[in-house]
Structure formats: structure tokens, C-alpha cells
Structure 1
Amino acid sequence: MNAIVYQKFGNTAVLQSIDQPKPIIQSSQILVKVKAFSINPMDWKIRKGEMTLMSGSKFPKHTGTDFSGTVEEIGGSVSGFMKGDEVFGVVKDMMKEGVSAEYVAVPASLVWKKPSMISFPQAASIPVVGTAAVTALEKMGKINSQTSVLVNGATGGFGMFLLQLLKQRGADVTAVTNSKGVEFAKKWGANAVIDYTKENVLSQSSTYDIVIDLSGKMGYKAAKQIMQSKAIFLNPTPKPIEIPVSFFKNLFTSKKHIVIVSSPSTNYIDVLLGAVKDGMQIEVNKVFPFSQYREAYQYTEQGGYIGKVVVEIK
């Protein structure tokens, strides 16, 4: 089967397509014929060597974390699936595994049936950023129409899910995005939208109960000036050092810095599937063919797009 791997850390030039054997599944696994896989920022952070403490330096490495496809083979201890079922899922260890191949073997506990009303590219877009959005909601605690939330970088994949989930819960949401994202942010439920190409959110007078920085460009230090006295700053893209440092800093300030670390599970996916059933929109900005995998990663790493970017295998 064809698979995308890399033999050293670096930019997209290190990615290469190779032929390797189809995976042999264990009794608790499912073999999926991959139809699509999405691209997430963690993919290139790992590939560039920014996460070596967790990913290790053993090569070759694969890329890609969440996928969709059809069931090809079922392990002996697996029930509830049949060959040919349309499914989506995620690898168990995104730091050391990947789905950028024609077939992938994953635990049955990390595979879910694809809703018929969404496409394979849409389904492949759900697990990583969708789970992160649900986790962010949990970190926010009780929210209602009086809760003011600023979402910075609001119209990428993470923001797409988060805005719609916040709307379901009635929060007062201000979204920060570029000119292309303004109408999407409104459609997904933002009460107010700031176009960062025209206005600096840090220079305005409004303050917020919750600030979440999905772009990774604002940072806690800058965000404090638009946070209310007992507000929280949610950081879904922490540097490794920020995880322990934030804990100790929070002991001495009322403006809390909360790191988001998420992991897909059935409980989270059930929330997302319920939202999809209720009409949640999943915007796939661009679908690249498997042969253009380098171009797909180059496009994604440039940023500024709406929703998700997906690689499709036919």
C-alpha cells in the first residue's frame, strides 16, 4: 500500500510516498481502508521536531491523526462493526502513529460509524479539533448568555466547532478572524466579529470572562489586558514548558492560564455526533488528492483558511 512517511525532521520536502505492507490487525483492532484524512497543526509541529520529548526521534514516522473510510477487516474480539461500514476515527498515539496511508489499523474503541448526512472529508475533520472544542467547553465551566467569550482565530477547524457549540449554550461570543472568515463566524453563531486585518482586539475597551487563543499568536501575557478580574485564558496550543509553569502562576493570580490537553473518546464524539445530527456545519475548505500531499501540507501551514483541509484517497 502507499503511505506517506518521513525519515528526518524538517519541512514538507522530507515527506515521501513509499510502498509498505498492509497492516496486520490485532484482535481488538479494525482495519480501515482510508478514504480521507485531515491535517492538523500538530502534524507539522511533530514533523519539524518541535515535540521530540513526546514523539521521540525514531524514524520512519507517519503523519495524520484523524481519518474516515470503510471497514476492511475486523479483529476477533470486536463487535458492532461489519465489513463495508462507513466509519471515521483517530489513532491511539498521535505522537508516534499516523493515518496517511491507504489502510490503517486502529483500536475499535477509536472508530465510530460515519453519519450518512456528511461526506468522508467532513467526517475525517471531526475527531481532533472537535474533541478539542468539547474539552474547551468543559474547561469553561458553567456558561450562559451573561458569559462573555472571546475566540481568537475563530474560523479554523477548532473555531468552527467551538463557535457552534458555544451558540448551543447561549454564550455571548466575540470572534476574531480575517476578512474571509467574518461571514462564517456570524453563520456559526458569533454575536460580534472583529476583523483583525482592520482592528486590533487588544486596543478595544471590551473585557471578557473567557479568552481562548486558537491562533497561538496572542498569548496569556497580552490577553490579560482584555480579561476581567477573575477571567480565564484557555491555551490549546501550549509549548511544553507552559504546562507546568501555568500551574504555578495560577497560584498567584486571579486571571487563570488554563492549558487544554484533549484526547478523543466516545463521550466526546457522542457530543459531536449529536451536534452533527442537529445541523452542525463542517466546512472543508479544500480537498487535495493523495498525490498532492506536499501541496496540502504547504497550503495548511500557511494558515488563513476557513474550516479544515483534507487529503482524499481514491
Structure 2
Amino acid sequence: MKAIEYQKFGNADALQMVELPKPVIKSGDVLINVKAFSINPMDWKIRKGEMKLMSGSNFPKYTGADFGGVIEETGSAVTGFKKGDEVFGVVKNMMKEGASAEYISVAASHIWKKPSDIGFAQAASLPVIGTAALTAIEKMGRIDSGTNILVNGATGGFGMILLQFLKQKGARVTAVTNSNGIAFAKTWGANTVIDYRKEEVLSREETYDIVIDLSGKMGYANAKQIMKAQSKFLNPTPRPIDIPLSLIRNLFTGKKHVIVLASPSKKYADALLDSVKHGLDVEIHKVFPFHKFKEAYRYAEQGGYTGKIVIEQQ
């Protein structure tokens, strides 16, 4: 089977197409014929060596965490799934595994049946960003119509889901995006939209109960300028050093630095499936064929697009 791997840290040129044996599954696993997998920022953070402390430096490594596909085979201990089921899911350890192959073996506990009213590309886009959005909302604590929230970098995949959930909560949301994302941000529920190319959000007089930086470019030190005395800065893209630093900082200030580390689970999957049933919008910005994987990653790493980038296989 064909698979994408890399033998050293680096840019998208480090990715290579290779031939590998089809995986042999264990009793609790399923063999998936992958139809689509999505691109997430963590993919290139790992590939560039920014997450070495967690990913390690052993090669080969693979890419792609969440996927949609069809079950080819089930292990002897698997119940609730059968050959031919259309499913979506996430690899168990994205630091060491990947969905970037024609076939992958995954634990049955990490897949869910794909809703019939969405395609493989949309399903493959949901687990990582959906789990992250739901985890972020839990970290925010109580949210109501009086909660003033700033979402920086609001119209990528993560922001797309987060804005829609925050709208359900009734929060007052300010979304920071580029001109291409303004209409989407409004559709997904933002009350106010700022085009960062035309206005500097840090120069505004308004302050916020919660600031979440999805772009990874604002940072806690800058965000403090627009945070209320008792408030939270949510960081879903922490550097390894940020985790202990945030614990120390939080002892001495009301402006809390909250690390958001998400882990997919049945609870989150059920919430996402229910949201899809009720019209959750999953915008696919662009789909690349499997053989154009390097082009897909180069495009994704440039940023500035709305929604998700997906790689599909025939």
C-alpha cells in the first residue's frame, strides 16, 4: 500500500510517498481503507521538530491525525462495527502515528460511524478541531450573554467550530480574521468581526473576559493588554515551556494563562455527531488528491484560508 512518511524533521519536502505492507490488526482494532484525512497545524509542528519532547526523534514518522474511511476488517474483539461501515476517527497517538496511508489500523474505540449526510472530507475534518473546540469551552467555565470573548484567528478549522458552539452559548464574541473570513465569521455567530489587516485589536479600548488565540501569534504577554482584571487567556498551541510557566504565572495574577490540551473521546464525538445532526457547518476550503500531498501541506502552512484543508484518496 502507499503511505506518506518522513525520515527527518523539516518542511514539506521531507514528506515522501513509500510502499508499505498493509497493517495487521490486533483483536481490538479495525483496518480502515482511508478515503480522506485532514491537515492540522500540529502536523507540521511535529514534522518541523517543534514537539520533539513529546514526539521523540525516532523515524520514520507519519502525518495526519483524523480521517474518514471504510472498514476493511475488524478484530475478533470488536463489536458494533462491521466490514463496509463508513466511519471517521482519529489515530491514538498523533505524535507517533498517522492517517496518511491507503490503509491504517486503529483501535475501535477511536472511530465512530459517519453520518450519512456529510462526506468523508467533512467527517475527516471533525475529530481534532471539534474536540479542541469543546475542550476550550469547558476551560472557559461559565459562559452566558454577559461573557465577552475574543477569538483571534477565528476562521480556520478550530475557529469555525468554536464560533458555532459559542453562538449556542449566547456569548458576545469578537472574531479576528482576514477579509476572506469576515462573512464566514458572521455566519458562524460572531457579533463583531475585526479584519486584522485593517485594525490592530490590541489598540482597542475594549477588554475581554476570555481571549483565545487560535493563530498562535498574539501570545499571553500581548493579550494581557486587552484582558479584564479577572479573566482567562486560552492557549491551544502551547510550547512545551508554556505549561510549567503558566502554572507559576497563575499564582500571582487574576489574568490566567490556561493551556488547552485536547484528547478525543466518546463524549466529544457524541456531542459533535449531535451538532452535525442539528446543522453544524463544516467548511472545506480545498481538497487535494493523495498524490499532491506536498502541495497540500505547503498550501496549508501558508495560512490565511477559511475552514479545513483535506487530502482525499480515490
What TM-score, normalized to structure 2?
0.99
Counterpart of 1:273 in structure 2 is 273
Counterpart of 1:54 in structure 2 is 54
Count of residue pairs brought into register by the alignment = 314
Structure 1 residue 298 corresponds to structure 2 residue 260: no
Question: Letter of the aligned partner of 2:97 in structure 1?
Answer: E
Q: For 2:49 and 2:233, how far apart are their aligned partners in 1?
A: 27
Describe the SS at the equivalent of 1:144.
coil
Counterpart of 1:161 in structure 2 is 161
Shift in Å, 1:264? 0.5
Shift in Å, 1:57? 0.9
Unpaired stretches in structure 2, ≥5 consecutive residues: none
Counterpart of 1:38 in structure 2 is 38
Counterpart of 1:199 in structure 2 is 199
Counterpart of 2:221 in structure 1 is 221
Report Cα offsets for 1:188-237 as digits up to 9, x if no partner.
00011001011000011111100000000000010011101101000000
Q: For 1:119 and 1:198, how far apart are their aligned partners in 2?
A: 36
Q: For 2:270 and 2:70, how far apart are their aligned partners in 1?
A: 20
Question: Letter of the aligned partner of 2:215 in structure 1?
Answer: S
Question: Letter of the aligned partner of 1:62 in structure 2?
Answer: Y
Q: Which runs of 4+ in 1 moved over 4 A?
A: none
Shift in Å, 1:67? 0.3
Q: For 1:70 and 1:201, how far apart are their aligned partners in 2?
A: 45
Describe the SS at the equivalent of 1:190.
coil
Question: Letter of the aligned partner of 2:26 in structure 1?
Answer: Q
Describe the SS at the equivalent of 2:250.
helix
1:230-309 to 2 correspondences below 5 Å: 230-309=230-309
Q: For 2:141 and 2:61, how far apart are their aligned partners in 1?
A: 37
Describe the SS at the equivalent of 2:101.
coil
Counterpart of 1:142 in structure 2 is 142
Shift in Å, 1:269? 1.0
Q: CA RMSD in A?
A: 0.5
Counterpart of 1:189 in structure 2 is 189
1:90-169 to 2 correspondences below 5 Å: 90-169=90-169
Question: Letter of the aligned partner of 2:96 in structure 1?
Answer: K
Q: For 2:141 and 2:53, how far apart are their aligned partners in 1?
A: 31
Q: For 2:223 and 2:46, how far apart are their aligned partners in 1?
A: 27
Question: Letter of the aligned partner of 2:36 in structure 1?
Answer: A
What TM-score, normalized to structure 1?
0.99
Counterpart of 1:7 in structure 2 is 7
Q: For 2:141 and 2:13, how far apart are their aligned partners in 1?
A: 43
Shift in Å, 1:157? 0.3
Q: For 2:239 and 2:87, how far apart are their aligned partners in 1?
A: 33
Shift in Å, 1:82? 1.3
Q: For 2:152 and 2:14, how far apart are their aligned partners in 1?
A: 31
Report Cα offsets for 1:143-192 as digits up to 9, x if no partner.
01110100000000000000000001111111000000000000000011
Q: For 2:230 and 2:141, how far apart are their aligned partners in 1?
A: 13
Counterpart of 1:65 in structure 2 is 65
Counterpart of 1:84 in structure 2 is 84
